[in-house]
């Protein structure tokens, strides 16, 4: 190993990353508690004070948000069912275009939990076996492709099988309107099978760091692909590098940072662990590719938070945060919610597409009569009150 001439004395950013992740995870728990109160107030059918629904819950509806994004791209319309979901989705996309998959390692609550479990597992395994578990390439690569297969299915179904009309029909459908409540019941009344699946994923995350994120998360797959477009990349200075390998050792994504001049990987989450681990000054940094200028670590931390807050703040300021569904409509939907479903599989998506696009005049009548029904319902509720 070469001698270190100029030691890296820059402070690690990992503590700040941990604080930001913790605050965001706390925010998600808070949203969860508020949503629980909201559903409780719906179940009481107005017998208790109506609790406002926290719009942030829509961040957990990525499919609906992707459809909303498609509708926004093709028509410019911000769909009114889950507008906050659209703004959260755009914020995450923008973060990825600027700083790669930074959402995964700085804000995502699932990434945060995976990381904590993975670190705990690594310590235990190291104590027992004096080594880390790393899957061989012939297992790692096929498993990593699973998240892309899931993403490909959603992209194919939404962008290629569905038309703008059927996307709008889906977004308007009762299923989508209450998708957040459906998600709540999935966890509140969790089946034994789902518990086994979630438990298995948690257990696997102990032995294989970031199991869900690395192999299964389609959202991460999308951000990984977008990250290739980011102009800010981790660059290694080959001349000053002393080939200590500490960067590769620190990388939670198993990227061989010490063997490349620039990290160009869909697995890099811009966590900056490698940059912090490098013992030589100005040898491993994030640089803006056009000017080759180094971007200080603190600026990256501030920028990812600001991008997220700015885009979601824009949603709030423009009145596209809270949806327009009234508590009465929610209470009414709650009664029939178990009968609401969504297409599963490509054949069902094609059928949905055909149904939505055919008989448009008849559809228009149905939509109009539904509108009249809603108006009547609201006026009846108004009279009762």
Q: How far is the CB of 204 from ligand SF4 (least distance, A)?
A: 20
In the bound state with ligand SF4, the residue whose beta carbon lies nearer, of 134 and 372, is: 134
Q: How far is the CB of 10 from ligand SF4 (least distance, A)?
A: 12
In the bound state with ligand SF4, the residue whose beta carbon lies nearer, of 242 and 314, is: 242
CB 248 within 8 A of CB 258: yes
| Alpha carbon separation from 84 to 222, 271, 318, 354 (Å, rounded) | 19, 26, 11, 29
Which residue from 257, 300, 307, 349 is in contact with ligand SF4, where contact means CB under 6 A? 257
Count of residues binding ligand SF4 (CB under 6 A)? 29
Which residue from 258, 266, 285, 328 is in contact with ligand SF4, where contact means CB under 6 A? 258
235-254 residues in contact with ligand SF4 (CB under 6 A) are: 236, 241-247, 250-253
How many Cα atoms within 13 Å fall on the side-chain side of residue 361?
Answer: 0
Could you identify the residue written with the tokens 């662990």?
A: 273
The reply to whether 102 sits near ligand SF4 by the rule CB under 6 A is: no
Name which of 247, 249, 244, 241 is nearest 263 in CA terms: 247
Torsion-angle region of residue 151: left (phi > 0), alpha (psi -120 to 50) or beta? Answer: alpha
CB 105 within 8 A of CB 17: yes
| Alpha carbon separation from 27 to 23, 24, 249 (Å, rounded) | 6, 5, 32
Contact map string, positions 276 to 315, toward ligand SF4, x by CB under 6 A: -xx-x--xx-------------------------------
In the bound state with ligand SF4, the residue whose beta carbon lies nearer, of 15 and 191, is: 15
Q: How far is the CB of 101 from ligand SF4 (least distance, A)?
A: 8
The reply to whether 181 sits near ligand SF4 by the rule CB under 6 A is: no
φ, ψ (nearest 5 deg) of residue 293? -75, 140
Stretch that binds ligand SF4, among 218-226, 272-280, 295-303, 372-380 (CB under 6 A): 272-280
The reply to whether 337 sits near ligand SF4 by the rule CB under 6 A is: no
Q: How far is the CB of 285 from ligand SF4 (least distance, A)?
A: 10
Q: Give the dihedral sign, CA 264/267/273/279.
A: negative
Distance CA 168, CA 364 (A): 13
The angle subtended at Cα 208 by Cα 207 and Cα 214, nearest 5°, is 160
Q: How far is the CB of 14 from ligand SF4 (least distance, A)?
A: 10
Interface with ligand SF4 (CB under 6 A): 234, 236, 241-247, 250-253, 255, 257-258, 263, 268-274, 277-278, 280, 283-284
């Amino acid at each position: 190993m070469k001698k270190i001439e100029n030691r890296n004395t820059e402070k690690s950013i990992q503590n700040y990353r941990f604080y930001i992740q913790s605050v965001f995870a706390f925010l998600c728990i808070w949203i969860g508690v508020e949503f629980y109160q909201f559903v409780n107030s719906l179940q009481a059918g107005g017998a208790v004070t109506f609790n406002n629904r926290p719009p942030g819950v829509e961040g957990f509806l990525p499919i609906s948000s992707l459809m909303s994004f498609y509708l926004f791209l093709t028509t410019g319309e911000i769909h009114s069912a889950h507008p906050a979901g659209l703004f959260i989705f755009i914020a995450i996309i923008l973060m990825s275009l600027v700083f790669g998959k930074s959402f995964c390692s700085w804000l995502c609550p699932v990434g945060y939990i995976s990381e904590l479990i993975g670190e705990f597992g690594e310590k235990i395994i190291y104590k027992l076996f004096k080594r880390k578990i790393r899957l061989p390439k012939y297992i790692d690569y096929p498993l990593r492709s699973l998240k892309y297969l899931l993403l490909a299915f959603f992209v194919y179904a939404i962008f290629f099988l569905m038309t703008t009309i059927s996307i709008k029909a889906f977004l308007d459908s009762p299923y989508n309107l209450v998708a957040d409540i459906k998600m709540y019941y999935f966890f509140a009344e969790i089946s034994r099978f789902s518990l086994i699946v979630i438990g298995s994923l948690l257990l696997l995350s102990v032995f294989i760091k970031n199991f869900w994120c690395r192999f299964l998360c389609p959202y991460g797959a999308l951000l990984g692909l977008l990250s290739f477009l980011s102009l800010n990349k981790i660059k290694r200075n080959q001349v000053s590098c002393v080939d200590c390998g500490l960067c590769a050792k620190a990388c939670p994504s198993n990227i061989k940072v010490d063997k490349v001049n620039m990290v160009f990987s869909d697995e890099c989450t811009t966590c900056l662990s490698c940059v912090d681990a490098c013992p030589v000054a100005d040898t491993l940094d994030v640089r803006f590719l056009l000017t080759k200028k180094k971007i200080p670590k603190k600026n990256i931390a501030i920028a990812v938070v600001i991008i997220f807050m700015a885009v979601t703040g824009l949603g709030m300021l423009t009145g596209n945060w809270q949806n327009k569904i009234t508590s009465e409509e929610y209470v009414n939907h709650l009664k029939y919610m178990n009968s609401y479903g969504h297409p599963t599989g490509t054949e069902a998506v094609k059928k949905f597409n055909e149904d939505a696009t055919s008989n448009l005049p008849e559809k228009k009548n149905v939509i109009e009569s539904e509108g009249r029904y809603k108006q009547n319902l609201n006026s009846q509720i108004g009279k009762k009150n």
